[in-house]
Amino acid sequence: MSISPKLRNTVPLDGDLAAIQKHDHERSKPEVVQQLMLRYNYQLKFVVDTEEDLHEVEVYLSHLHGVVPNRVWLMPQAVDVTTMHQKAEWIEPFCNERGYRYCPRMQLVWFGNKPRS
């Protein structure tokens, strides 16, 4: 099972305050993630946008028990290959230091930033 916990960078900043607060409250459910990890062969995939997100990933993982580092995947938030490569410069070393995996957005390489038909 591919589990993608949502970081703060997913909170919509263009909605009304109630919608923003609801999303922020409901996006993080480590107790649910923990149960899924116990029941299924899993991977945890986090989409990171800034270097500050790396700290948030570490805090999130600290609330889980039995996380296998090579089952943690970090993917850059990007809509073009240039941005993806720029973010890889700080995401990949972070992954290597901790035994996590870097997950490039290959759809950007193969198709660019456009919907597939």
Beta strand spans in 1-117 (E)? 2-3, 43-48, 72-76, 101-102
Q: How confident is the model at residue 28 (pLDDT cuts 50, 70, 90)?
A: confident
Q: Can you tell me the distance from the alpha carbon of 107 to that of 37, in angstroms, rounded to the nearest whole number?
A: 27
Residue 101: inside a domain, yes or no? yes
Number of domains into which the chain is organized: 1
What's the pLDDT score for residue 19?
A: 75
Residue 116: inside a domain, yes or no? no
Phi, psi of 61 (to 5 degrees): -65, -30
Residue 117: inside a domain, yes or no? no
**Domain of 55?**
2-111
Residue 12: inside a domain, yes or no? yes
**65-80 residue pLDDT tens:** 999 999 999 999 999 9
Q: Can you tell me the distance from the alpha carbon of 15 to that of 105, in angstroms, rounded to the nearest whole number?
A: 27
Instruction: Kindly report the average pLDDT of the chain as a whole number.
Output: 90
